[in-house]
Chain A
Amino acid sequence: MKKQLTDFIIKTSEMLTPSCGMLTLMPVDGSPLPEIKPGQFVEVAVNSVMLRRPISICDVDYEANELRLLIRNAGKGTSEMLGLPEGSKLNILLPLGNGFTFSDDVVQPGSRMLLVGGGVGTAPLLYLGRILRRKGAEVTFLTGAKTSAELLLVDEMERIAPVAVTTDDGSEGEKGFVVDSTVWQKDYDRVYCCGPAPMMKAVAALARRKEVECEVSLENMMACGLGACLCCVEKTVKGNVCVCSEGPVFNINELTW
């Protein structure tokens, strides 16, 4: 899968919550999208800051030749992306990273898969869920947020598979964190997780206790996104490895958490 630098046009830009928005992007020149694996990410160039910003690929539609990015306003770069009018161009480096495991030896018809997302970390799970369903897996989504107004993509996930919700304040779904959800009472073959680091650590600890395979997607600070600068390293059982090129998805057994 070759990496490419491509100008995309923002077809639509829509705020989903006060701080998060969805961009739908299409290559300006109409060239077909490269093959993209769930859990891979892009690096978006913006004018307000020097370095590109890493963003997970939330969804891919090869027929429409579109990809979607779910972006949380976290500072200068993301706020610029969310503020651009429809029709603007973005220069994007893609596809980057390894992605979640979805090979035939791991995903079989009937495999029980739990996809756990926290906040904007729900983004890469949408495309993953779609692909796992297509392979016949039994998918359950679990998503958490502080409050119901901050929940993301619930309707879209429901079109793919059942969705369990937790909110810190109990304003929707079960009250508590994702690890408190009753969905954990069932058994799973694999857990896929993306969200804030404390949440992923709690999910990893629970998965270890339940002895279930678990993959997490890390968000270390990046400079190049290509495995060249060694800025984004995570300590693993093999020593320091680049999250951008050997991740962002890791099996928790590889991590020192």
Chain B
Amino acid sequence: MVGHKIQILFSPAETGIALRLAIGKKPEDIIAQVKESKLRGRGGAGFPTGLKWELVQQAKGERKFVVCNADEGEPGTFKDRILLTDHPCKIFEGMAICGYAVGAQNGVVYLRAEYRYLREGLVNAIKKMKESNYLGKNIMGSGFNFDIEIHLGAGAYVCGEETALLESLEGKRGEARNKPPYPTECGYMGCPTVVNNVETFCYVPAIMTKGAQWFSEIGTMESTGSKLFSISGDVAKPGVYELAMGSTVDVVLQLVGAKDTKAVQVGGASGICVAEKDFNKPISFESLPPGGSIIVFNKSRDMLYVLKNFMEFFVEESCGQCTPCREGTYRLLQGVEMMEQGRCSIHYLHTLRDLAQTMLISSKCGLGQLAPNPFLSIIDNFKGEILARDRVARNSKKTPVVR
């Protein structure tokens, strides 16, 4: 099964069938079914979806909310755009089933500002579903009410982090919150809130109609089902591919027609750079964590430049709230610039590695915790290439080696 193209998300499915099945069941049974499918969040962290829903269902609160994270900002990721464009009803159906299961009547889609042109299509889809009584009041005569609104972001990558997203939804600066409490307990406006990725919600209708067992038999032990991969860079056929979890890097490269591949960045800027020796590794939560993004670099590419581009990204997108990330991303970028000029000694490189470790354990949110990923993995994989760079300013006394 592994490595083959499969279709769960991209297969046509009539809207409403899964929802009708779901509201004929007890909320506990839906949650049990999602748990049994072993579906894990597709937004990056891979948290078990059924468990998240159960926490919200059991949390005390007058109101509860279902939030769909459509802030897709990770460099190299565009899979959610395809779902938002072609399969909005699957997303909304998944959200409604979630609402019924956890006891929420309101859903919000947090759509990144860069996708503003998708809003109209989404609003129309909601309207249509309301007309068919798949959303709105007394859904299909069950007494269950569920409404969805679209909330536009305003251009900030960090707002994809779930607590920063909630701050932004409340009309504040998108700065990550301290955790705990987690959103499942204290989310939007202090109410228990489910935050799931677009893709995560999309699997739910299929799990309802085809069953948890069917879903859990696809993929690997710890990573069930399929996964959408946004593939870009030096490949013949870039695009979004739906593959079984556990597909190896090799298989993916073959599928998209990549030649002379030097490295693959799995999981976007926050992900890990994989060199040729590891192309046989599977992409799954057990091995190479599957973000949505796969960026392929061929042998002509300068990996230090790639790293610089990623570090610039983090410097710009850090919210600046905590010091390890605000200062750390900047120092790592500076280090890369020194390496570029051949002015970074191995001693200083070790200091930067220590800094990266510090960021990993002391940053407040995932942005600062993950920013060292490309730094460490690119340096480790291509140390020789990096250390052997031409000293650009060899004759200039103004540019001493930094120790």
Q: Do A and B come from one complex?
A: no
**Chain B contact residues, CB within 8 Å of chain A:** none
